[in-house]
Each structure stands twice: as C-alpha cells, then as structure tokens.
Amino acid sequence: MRLSCAMGDYDMASRGQLQASRPRAINFYDATVFQIFSLKCIGFLHLDVGAGNNGDRGWKVLANHVLTACGVLLIISGITQIPFATYNFRGVVILTILLLKRRQWTKLVCLVNRMLFDTFLTRNAAQKKLRQWQVLSIGAAIVTLFLQIVFETLNNLQYMAIAKKSMMSDGILDPLPLSMLVWQYVVFWTVCSALPFYLSQQVAICLLVIGKMLADCCRILTDALAEEMENVKILPGIGSSVVDLHLLKSELQRVDALQDAAERVINLKLRYLDMCRVVGYMDHHFGSFIFFLYGLDLLTMFGSVCSIVENNDKGIVVVRAYYYVSTVIFILYCTLFMWPLVMAYEESLKVNVTLHHFISKVEAIASLTTMQGRHLHAILQTFVIASKDRLLLFSGAEILHITRTFIFTTFTLLISFIVITKEVLQRDDSPRSCQTTSVHPLSANRTLM
C-alpha cells in the first residue's frame, strides 16, 4: 500500500516537474529541425528529473543531449551528402587549374620529352617502352570510361527507384519552378557533370603515365649504374721495383676504363637530375592536381561508406549496389591510379643503394690513388648526395606525399572511419528503456525512507 502510494506520488511529482519544464523544451524543438530526436530528448529529461534534480538541471541536461545527438547526426547526414558536391566539384576544379596553367603544362611536356631523349638515344630503343606507355594510357582511359558508365547508370537507377519515377516523368526539379523530364535532366547531368569528371580523370591518367615513365627511366638508370659497377675490375697494381710491360699495359687500360666510367657516371647523374627536375616542376605547378584528385575522391568514398553504414538504401537492391560500387570505384581512384607515382619514388631509392655499392667497390680498387680513380670516387660521392637529397617523390600541394605507406594509410583510414561511424550510430540508437525503469524503484525507496 505504502509502495503504491509512493509510486503514485513519484509519478505525480515527475509529471509536475515535466510540465513545468515543458514550455522550454517546446520552444527548443520549434527552433530545431531535427524533430527525430524529440522522444529521445524527452527520455533524457525524464531520467534527469526522476533522479531528483530540479527543472533547470533537467533542462541543461536535455539541451546537452539534444545538441550532442543533433551534432552527431548532423555530421553523419552531412557526410552522406558529400559525394554530390565533391563529384561535381572535382571536374570543375581540375579543368580550371589546367586552363590556368596551360603554359606550364606545355613546358612540362617539353621536360618529359627531354628526359626521354636523354634516356633513349635512339627511337628503336624506346619503341618497346612507348608501346607499354600507350597501352597503359589507353587501358586506363577505357577502364575509367567503363567505371564512369557503371557509376552513372547506377546513380540514375537508384534515383528513379527512390523517387519512383521513369525516364518520361516530370517534376525532377521540384520545388524549383522549372519543368524538366527525367531523361532531359540525365542529358544535362551528363554534359555538365559526368563529362567534366571524365575529363578530369584523363588529367589524372596523364600524371599516372608520367609517373610510369619516370619509374621506367629511373629503373634503366639503375641498371646502367649496376653495369658500370660490374665493369670496374680489381686488377693488381704495379710494383715499385719490378716493371712488367704486361702489368703496365693492364694498368693503363684500367686508368682509361676508370676515366670512361667517370664520364658515363656524369651522364647518368645529369639524367637523374633531369628526372628530379620533372618531379620538382610537377610538384610546384601541378601538385594541386594530386591534392584535389585524392582529397575529393577520398571524401566521395567516405560519403558512400557512411551511407552504407547508416543503411540509407531503404532496402532497395539498386541503391545498395550504387553505394557499394561507388565505394569500390573511388577506392581504385585513391590507390591503384596513384601507384605509378609510388613506383617512381621507390626506384629513386634503389638508385641511392646502387651508388653506395658502387662507391664501396671503387674504394676497394688499388688504383684509387690515381687521379682518375679519385675523380670517379668524387663524382660518385656527389651523385650519392644528390640522390639522397632529391628523390622522385610526388606531393600534393606539399601536404600529401605519395608513398607506399600513404597508399596503405588510405585503407587504414577507411576502416577506422567505418568502425567509428558504426560505434557512434549504435551508441545513438541504443535503447534506454533499461535506464528509465531503473530510476523508479530508487526514487520510490527514497520516498519510503
């Protein structure tokens, strides 16, 4: 009997305090567009008031929970809307930068041609590599076109599935006072959005091919250094008391060989510096390309992943396929299409390692005491310093440095983003009924006491 009365008194007191604080809550909800949090916010207020706090305390906790919940869903909802903006922004930004830097692009092409001319002395020697680069360029363009068609097709299908419209339906621009059929909008979207995106991807393919060229040229240079190192032989020196014509002849041949090796190493050093000049020029004038290509594609991928985690597909298979395919496509853009730049960087590291082996072998030659030997050793030392200080490292606006670690960090960042988003959503959607029921007995016991 006393327990029933206590529970009744508790309910009346709770309702009285809740009624006293309700006008403030209603005003707050009227000023907030996130009405989906209303029931949850009232639940938080009920918990706080039931625990014996006053109305002001309950209102502060209510506002705190409302702002937290609204902020979380605001961020998640904003991320799910990112792909629409980044997808359209990408083509406009890349093509605008290319238009503004068209003269620098022409000079970059001249620098690349000079690098290829120094690497391949005859056109016959470059035929095989030229065919490989052409196949890479055409293949990347075809793959990009295929991915673009798949993406746009799924995009249109998922829109028509959600909006329940056909290609001949009207009202696609509602509530704007414009009349346009769905197929007309698809054509408009293709010309103004899909086509600029595809053209911007062709710029990315040009950077990809240049990275592949640098990697191949650097590999050829490393092989040439290794060949020079193999040609340097350790021959016996000339004795101070006995003069052998055969040994004298060998010594003179060795001196001539060292002199020729020094000249060839100088040429290899100039070729390497030409490669570094190409990379430096690209970073200075076109580093923004890499920055925007990677950054916007990463944001688009995050938006698609966030839609998957939030279950925005509404149970429609086409919408779900659109989100998954979009994620895969932009993962490829962020990783696979950047890999030739990583290859160029790693090949430049091999140059430095080969030079250290070359120096070690030259230092072991007895004729290092000759002028030609010291000259070759000095050239190799300066080459080592140059290869250490200047690597074929591509950067995006001096912020992103394209290495193997950077590429794999993309996957780590994606997995971390998925885990954090799922954790936030599960915590936000966790039931609070257990917490609400656990308050009443405690309050009742306080009343009995």
pLDDT of residue 146 exceeding 90: yes
If asked whether residues 187 and 312 sit together in one domain, one would say yes
If asked whether residues 133 and 210 sit together in one domain, one would say yes
What's the domain count of the chain? 2
| % of the chain with per-residue pLDDT over 70 | 68
The Cα-based distances of 378 to 124, 359, 375, 384 in angstroms read 34, 9, 5, 10
Flag whether 412 is in a domain. no
> pLDDT averaged over the chain?
73
Residue 142: predicted pLDDT: 92
CA atoms of 42 and 25, how far apart (whole Å):
8
If asked whether residues 50 and 155 sit together in one domain, one would say no
Average pLDDT rounded to a whole number, residues 247-266: 59
If asked whether residues 105 and 212 sit together in one domain, one would say yes
pLDDT of residue 80 exceeding 50: yes
Q: How confident is the model at residue 58 (pLDDT cuts 50, 70, 90)?
A: very low
Q: With beta carbons less than 8 A apart as the criterion, state whether 126 and 115 touch.
A: no
The Cα-based distances of 226 to 261, 268, 353, 356 in angstroms read 12, 12, 10, 11
Instruction: Report the SS3 class of residue 401.
Output: strand
pLDDT of residue 44 exceeding 80: no
Flag whether 416 is in a domain. no
If asked whether residues 115 and 50 sit together in one domain, one would say no
Flag whether 415 is in a domain. no
Q: What is the pLDDT of residues 274-303, one digit of tens each?
A: 999 999 999 888 888 889 999 899 999 888
Report the phi/psi class of residue 396: left, alpha or beta, with left for phi > 0 and alpha for psi in -120 to 50: beta
Flag whether 39 is in a domain. yes
If asked whether residues 210 and 257 sit together in one domain, one would say yes
Flag whether 408 is in a domain. no
If asked whether residues 59 and 179 sit together in one domain, one would say no
If asked whether residues 350 and 397 sit together in one domain, one would say yes
pLDDT of residue 12 exceeding 60: no
Residue 73: predicted pLDDT: 65
Residue 82: predicted pLDDT: 84
Residue 145: predicted pLDDT: 92
Q: Pick from 218, 234, 253: which is nearest to 348 by CA?
A: 218
pLDDT of residue 213 exceeding 70: yes
pLDDT of residue 59 exceeding 60: no
Ranges of beta strands (E only) in 325-431 are: 395-396, 400-401
Q: Pick from 41, 42, 45, 39: which is nearest to 59 by CA?
A: 45
If asked whether residues 12 and 136 sit together in one domain, one would say no
If asked whether residues 60 and 105 sit together in one domain, one would say no
Residue 132: predicted pLDDT: 85
Q: What is the pLDDT of residues 216-238, one digit of tens each?
A: 999 999 998 888 888 776 544 44
Average pLDDT rounded to a whole number, residues 188-193: 84
Residue 177: predicted pLDDT: 65
If asked whether residues 149 and 7 sit together in one domain, one would say no
pLDDT of residue 401 exceeding 50: yes
| Cis peptide bond N-terminal to 23, omega within 30 | no
Q: Which domain holds residue 373?
A: 81-402
Say which residue, 92 or 170, is predicted with more confidence. Answer: 92
Flag whether 316 is in a domain. yes
Flag whether 428 is in a domain. no
Q: How confident is the model at residue 92 (pLDDT cuts 50, 70, 90)?
A: confident
If asked whether residues 71 and 184 sit together in one domain, one would say no
Residue 35: predicted pLDDT: 31
pLDDT of residue 406 exceeding 60: yes
Flag whether 255 is in a domain. yes
